[in-house]
Structure 1
Amino acid sequence: MKTDSIFYQLFKTFPEAFFDIFGGEATEARNYNFASVELKQTAFRIDGVFLPNSKMASKPIYFVEVQFQKDPELYARLFSELFLYLRLYAPTKTWRAVVIFASRSMEPTEIEPYRVLIESKQVTRLYLNELGDVTEQSLGVGMMKLVVETKKRTPELVKNLVDKTLSEVTNKALQKQVLDLIETIVLYKLPRISPQELAKMFRLSDFDIKKTRYYEEVRKEIKQEVKEEVKQEVKEEVKQEVKEEVKQEVKEEVKQEVKEEVKQEEALQLIKRLLQRRIGKVSQKLHKRINRLSVEQLENLAEALLDFGSEEDLATWLQNNLQ
């Protein structure tokens, strides 16, 4: 599952979820803008930063890290990026870091160099599988917990989250975004789920998966894959067409070459017979030189040999015409 993109989308769409997860006030989300920040001239990118609005200068900056797989260098990377951000942007406000693990087993065991920071009030570590029952949690926390829940419990939890969304999110546009996000999580977790099962989870009587955003995303991916396959097939077809054209051209060229060779051979045999009659036996050395003559040169020799009286005349002619 693409957890990084899911959590980025979650915090971007529903920032209240971030403040819910560590016990903050959901209303705090109004005072922040969530973004991914690239640290210039470095290879670092901070995936999640909650920056206070300009009117909330006293509020802390929140750095977010989501970890769903083992990474022994997690804290080294996190604090390197965090302090590099502080150096580059020189904010005057305080900061907080929130690290969200799928489970406690995902956390690095070697933390001694960072223990002072990790155990300070500025760093909060959360483990999604320890958050308790989704029904007891806020909508935002429930959506995050859904990511790590078992496939068996997913249908029940989705129904609960859908009910919460419909009852708690009054803004229709935001409501649709939240439902789309829940749908995305479900379809990443259960890629083979049937439209009927998905409709049941979302309490829909007439569900058309083709109308979902997820379907459109998958369709784009599949279209690109098919496009590459078709492109390769077309290339092969074009190569085959070109091969046939070239084969025909080469065939014609070979035919012409064979004709020239046959014509030369016939002319050569005729010349040798005429020379035999005209001047008698010709030396092996001169025979080799005659064999090197082109068809045109052989035709010229046929005319010239009528005036030959000896082998010397032939040698002289070859000397003048065979360079």
Structure 2
Amino acid sequence: MKRDTIYYQIFKRFPWLIFELVDYRIEQAQNYRFESIEVKETAFRIDGVFLPPEGATPRIIFFAEVQFQKDEALYHRFFTESMMYLNRNQSQYDDWYCVVFFPSRSLEPSDTRTHRLFLNSDQVQRIYLDELNTSNQQSIGINLMQLTIASEKAIAQQAKQLIKQVQLESKDALTKNEIIDIITTIAVYKFSSLSREEVEAMLGLTLEQTRVYQEAKAEGREEQKAEMLLEQTRIYQEAKAEGREEILKATVPLLLKTGMSVEQIAQQLNVDLESVQSAAQQGA
């Protein structure tokens, strides 16, 4: 799973999540920007830097590192890069913090003594995702992070619960669609053998909630929306051929919402009427 790419998308779109995860309250959190920055005259590139907006007081820089593999040199590299950046940009900040994300403590470098000055400082925080509580009471940001470490067996149910949470709590349509897109992308990486359309059907997303439909709608491509409707009717055929008949339970309710009758669905999918009726009842 390409977690670096996933976390870059998450932080790029929602930089305020870093403050939520480290429980740091700052008025300008919404206006921070997340960048990958190269330190000039060195070979260093810092993958995650949260930069304060213009006019922020105080000007606080956050360095973030997401580590999903064992790397004994992690702290040496991370702190060296961060300090190098601070040295080259002394006039651009008033304070700084470092945040390191691990899926679990087992992936943390075994040598925590060499860099104890940093690790024991209140300017450095280590977050272990498997130790954060998972529940509907948690924020969307924390649940989104934990979805990246969910097992293949549990991710579908967790993703569905998170989508429901997003639909209930997020009032902005654009933000809602972006979060749902990230949830789907995480699931696509987990179920690499499934197409994006199959994953969307598995998560119970309606056609209007999918990324491709939103893009087509924004550009007014009616013919593409029609093609996507037809594509939904082909999902089950592909799934059945590969032994994933459970997809029918997610596909039928989706097709019913487009206005198709059970008879039309049975005809389009080339399955018996009883199977469609059963899937419709289970998805109700």
**TM (normalized to structure 2)?**
0.69
Shift in Å, 1:81: 0.3
Q: Deviations over 1:207-234 (max 9, x none)?
A: 8897598xxxxxxxxxxxxxxxxxxxxx
Partner of 1:154: 155
* Corresponding residue SS for 2:98: strand
Does structure 1 retain, via aligned residues, the 8 Å contact 2:60–2:93? Answer: no
| Counterpart code for 1:201 | L
User: CA separation in 2, counterparts of 1:5 and 1:32?
Assistant: 19
1:56 alignment partner in structure 2: 56
Residue identity in the other structure for 1:198: E
For structure 1, which runs of at least 5 residues remain unmatched after alignment? 214-323
CA offset digits 1:82-125 (Å, max 9, x no partner):
11001111134110000001111110011212101111100000
Shift of 1:50: 0.9
Is the 2:177–2:211 Cα contact (8 Å) retained in structure 1? Answer: no
More divergent stretch after superposition (138-147 vs 28-37): 28-37
**C-alpha spacing 1:209/1:63, structure 2 compared with 1 (3 Å):** closer
SS of alignment partner, residue 153 of structure 2 = coil
Residues 1:198 and 2:200 aligned together = yes
Structure 1 residues 183, 110: CA separation in 2 closer, same or farther (over 3 Å shift)? same
Whether 1:96 aligns to 2:132 is no
The equivalent of 1:286 in structure 2 is none
Q: What's 1:264 paired with? A: none
Indicate the SS of the match to 2:19: helix
* 1:208-227 alignment, distance < 5 Å: none
RMSD of Structure 2 on Structure 1 (CA): 2.3
The residue identity in structure 2 corresponding to 1:116 is: L
Is the 2:33–2:51 Cα contact (8 Å) retained in structure 1?
Answer: yes
Judged with a 3 Å threshold, the aligned counterparts in structure 2 of structure 1 residues 210 and 12 are, in CA distance, closer, same or farther, namely: closer
1:11 aligns with 2:7: no
1:227-242 mapped onto 2 (5 Å cutoff): none
In terms of fraction of residues, the more helix-rich structure is 1
Task: Specify the SS of the correspondent of 1:132.
Answer: coil
Counterparts of 2:178 and 2:139 in 1: how far apart (Å)? 17
- Distance in structure 2 (CA, Å) of the matches to 1:56 and 1:133: 33
| Corresponding residue of 1:75 | 75
Structure 2 unaligned residues grouped into runs of 5+: 216-284
Task: Give TM-score, length-normalised by structure 1.
Answer: 0.61
Would the alpha carbon gap of residues 128 and 27 (structure 1) be closer, same or farther in structure 2, given more than 3 Å must change?
A: farther
Which moves more between the two structures, 148-157 or 51-60? 51-60
CA distance in 1, matches of 2:210, 2:80: 46
Structure 2 partner of 1:21: 21
Contact in 2 for aligned 1:52/1:61 (Cα 8 Å): yes
Map residues 1-323 of structure 1 onto 2, 5 A cutoff: 1-25=1-25, 28-90=28-90, 91-193=92-194, 195-196=197-198, 198-204=200-206
Structure-1 separation of matches of 2:202 and 2:93 = 51
When residues 74 and 121 of structure 1 are mapped into structure 2, their CA distance, relative to the original with a 3 A threshold, is same
For the 8 Å contact 1:134–1:142, the answer to whether it is kept is yes
Q: What amino acid maps onto 1:3 in structure 2?
A: R
The answer to whether the 8 A contact 1:59-1:94 is kept is yes
Deviation at 1:204, TM superposition (A): 2.5
Q: Could you tell me how far 1:57 is from its partner in structure 2? A: 3.2
For the pair shown, the structure with the greater C-alpha radius of gyration is: 1
The Cα offsets for residues 121-169 of structure 1, whole Å up to 9 and x where unpaired, read as: 0000001111121423210111110000111111111111111222222
- Between the aligned residues of both structures, percent identity stands at 38
Runs (4+) of structure 1 exceeding 6 A deviation are 205-210
Mapped to 2, the partners of 1:206 and 1:166 lie a distance apart of 13
- Counterpart of 1:188, as a letter, is Y
8 Å Cα contact 2:184-2:199 kept in structure 1: no
User: 1:36·1:48 contact (CA, 8 Å) conserved in 2?
Assistant: yes
Deviation per CA, 1:267-303, whole angstroms, max 9, x where unpaired? Answer: xxxxxxxxxxxxxxxxxxxxxxxxxxxxxxxxxxxxx
Counterpart residue type for residue 13 of structure 2: T
